[in-house]
Amino acid sequence: MDRIAGDSLSAEAESMQKLLAEVQRTLRDNQQFILRLKEDDADLEEKDEEEASPEACEPDEFEEL
Q: Are 56 and 50 in contact (CB under 8 A)?
A: yes
Provide the pLDDT for residue 51: 84
Q: Does residue 20 carry a pLDDT above 60?
A: yes
Provide the pLDDT for residue 9: 87
Q: 7-42 as b/e, with b when 16 or more CB fall inside 10 Å?
A: eeeeeeeeeeeeeeeeeeeeeeeeeeeeeeeeeeee
Every domain of the chain and the residues it spans: 1-40
Q: Does residue 53 carry a pLDDT above 90?
A: no
